[in-house]
Amino acid sequence: VLQHTTRFGEKLNIGSYGVYLFFAISGFLIVRILHRERVEIEAGRSDTAHALRRFFWRRSLRIMPIYYLVLAVFTALSAVWTLDDFHFPDAWWHYGYLSNVYFGEVVGRWDGRFGYFWSLAIEEQFYLVFPALFALGWTISRLTRRRLLPPVLVVSLIAVGSFAVSVAWTYGSSF
């Protein structure tokens, strides 16, 4: 709200800090849920397949029903009428949770009613990738009998790689 109602908010671009805070809190909560699942597996009260199914089921119930309802309505509307910010041939980007790629690489701007879909795409991509990374770190730590070092190394390598890719995309160079 301050971003759009005050000169202070506009000058400092403080609206983006709310997004960063949301992603940090969301990431913390997801890691906590995954850690809790890991404890259940280690205690023998669950297995990996069941824990991952439960995790993905809960995540999908949280966002997907309303997300796909909104997409279906606007896809139907855009098939009949011309909408200035939603184009029927490009709808598949949103259905595949690739809105961030669509806005950033195809369109080149974040605009219209569907500009917020990029954050949902990032969140869903995190839900798909991070459990695999968590499982990889856990498996490596079990195999090497070191509890902390392998997961820290895996996450560190991913973070450095992600940073390198984001810098390259930001400044227009490619790999």
Top mean-pLDDT range of 1-5, 68-72, 154-158? 68-72
* % residues pLDDT > 90 (the chain): 3
In terms of Cβ atoms closer than 10 Å to its own Cβ (0-12, 13-18, 19+), residue 75 is middle
> What are the pLDDT digits (tens) for 115-157?
778 888 888 888 888 777 777 777 777 777 666 666 667 777 7
Reading the block at residue 172, the tokens are 């227009």
User: Backbone phi, then psi, for 84, in 5-degree steps?
Assistant: -70, -20
Reading the block at residue 91, the tokens are 């709808």
44: left (phi over 0), alpha (psi -120 to 50) or beta: left
Position 39: which residue type?
Answer: V
User: Which pTM does this prediction carry?
Assistant: 0.66
Q: Which residues contact 77 (CB under 8 A, 6 or more apart)?
A: 83, 86
Answer whether residue 63 shows pLDDT above 70.
Answer: yes
Would you state the pLDDT for residue 68?
92
Position 6: which residue type?
Answer: T
- Cα 98 to chain centroid distance, Å, stands at 10
Q: Which residues contact 75 (CB under 8 A, 6 or more apart)?
A: 86, 88, 91
Answer whether residue 41 shows pLDDT above 50.
Answer: yes
Looking at per-residue pLDDT, the higher value among 10 and 44 belongs to 44
What average pLDDT is seen over the chain? 78
Give the confidence band of 174 by pLDDT, cuts at 50, 70, 90. Answer: very low
Contact 99, 93 (CB under 8 A): yes
C-alpha distances in Å from residue 114, one per residue of 32, 77, 132, 140: 30, 14, 29, 40
Contact 91, 30 (CB under 8 A): no
